Amino acid sequence: MDSGSPHELAAAYALDALDADERRAYEAHLAACDRCREDVASFRETASALAYDVDVPPLPETLEHRILNAARAERPNVVPLPRRWAIPAAALAVASVAAAVVLGVWATHLSGSLDHQKQANKDQKALVDILSDCTKTQMQGGSAAVCVAPTHQAALIADSLPAATPNKTYEAWIIAGKSVKPAGLFRGGAGRKYLRLTKSVPGGVTVAVTLERRGGVSAPTSTPLLKAKVASG
C-alpha cells in the first residue's frame, strides 16, 4: 500500500473506489488483517445504505426469468426432491402420506386437553433429563445444536429459527446410511426452542431438519436447512 493508512483504504475499498490493481493488493492485505476485515464489513454496511438513494423503477419484465434460467442452467434445482434422497421409496412415501397427515392433524385436535397436558409434562421431564447430561454438536446451516445424552436420547436446540407458517412445520430426521427416519416436529420462532427427538441418536448418525407441510411427512421433501453429524462412540 502506498501513502495513507490501511484504515483509509478500507473506506475506499468499501466504496469500490480502488482500481483493479489496488483492489487486488488490498484484498491480499485483508486476508492477513482481522482488523481491516472488520473495518471493511462495517464500511460496507454503511456504503450499502447509499444504495437506497436511488429511483426504484419497475423491474424489466423478463429479468427475473433470465436470472432464474441462468441460475438453473448453472446448478440444477434440487428442490423439492434432492437427488440424494430422491429414491423411489421415499418419493412414493411422500405421495401417499398426504391423506395420513390430514388424519393425524385431525386426531391431535380431538385429543382431550387433560391428556394433552399430561403428555406435555412427561415430555418436559424427559427433555430436562436429556439436557442435564448431554454432549452438544453444533448444526450447520443455522444457530442450532443437537445434544445427545449417554442413553442416546437427544434434544434439538434451535435459537430463533424463523417461525414456521401455520401450514408448515420443521421436521427433524435421523439419517443413518440410507435410512432416513422422522424424529419430531417443531415450529421454531424467536428465542431458544427445544425439541426432544422421538428416536434415539446413536453415534455416527446425522441429524437434519427440513421445512415440511403442517403435520409432517414420513420422508423429507426438501434439502436440510440444518444438519449435524454426531460423533461416533
Rounded to the nearest whole angstrom, what is the least distance from the CB of residue 10 to another protein in the complex? 8
Q: Using an 8 Å Cβ cutoff, are 191 and 177 in contact?
A: no
Considering only CA atoms, which of 19, 24, 14, 23 is closest in space to residue 51?
14
Rounded to the nearest whole angstrom, what is the least distance from the CB of residue 230 to another protein in the complex? 21
Residue 137 as a binder of another protein (CB under 8 A): the answer is no
In whole angstroms, what is the distance from residue 25 CA to residue 18 CA? 10
Considering only CA atoms, which of 214, 209, 211 is closest in space to residue 79?
211
Residue 25 as a binder of another protein (CB under 8 A): the answer is no
Rounded to the nearest whole angstrom, what is the least distance from the CB of residue 170 to another protein in the complex? 9
Residue 92 as a binder of another protein (CB under 8 A): the answer is no
Closer to another protein at the Cβ: 46 or 96? 46
Size of the site for another protein (CB under 8 A): 69
Residue 10 as a binder of another protein (CB under 8 A): the answer is yes
Buried/exposed code over 176-208 (b: 16+ C-beta within 10 A; e: otherwise): eeeebebbbbbbbeeeebbbbbebebeeebbbb
In whole angstroms, what is the distance from residue 14 CA to residue 49 CA? 12
Binding flags for another protein, 181-200, as an x/- string (CB under 8 A): -----xxxx---x-x-----
The DSSP call for residue 51 is G
Residue 132 as a binder of another protein (CB under 8 A): the answer is no
Q: Using an 8 Å Cβ cutoff, are 154 and 168 in contact?
A: no
Closer to another protein at the Cβ: 39 or 148? 39
Rounded to the nearest whole angstrom, what is the least distance from the CB of residue 7 to another protein in the complex? 7
Task: Order across the sheet with 179-186: list the strands.
Answer: 179-186, 168-176, 206-213, 226-229
Binding residue (CB under 8 A) for another protein from 66, 118, 122, 192: 66
Task: Return the residues of window 41-60 that contact another protein according to CB under 8 A.
Answer: 41-60
In whole angstroms, what is the distance from residue 147 CA to residue 161 CA? 17
Judged by the rule CB under 8 A, the positions of this chain that interact with another protein are: 2-4, 7-12, 14-19, 22, 41-60, 63-68, 70-72, 74-79, 82, 141-142, 162-166, 186-189, 193, 195, 222-225
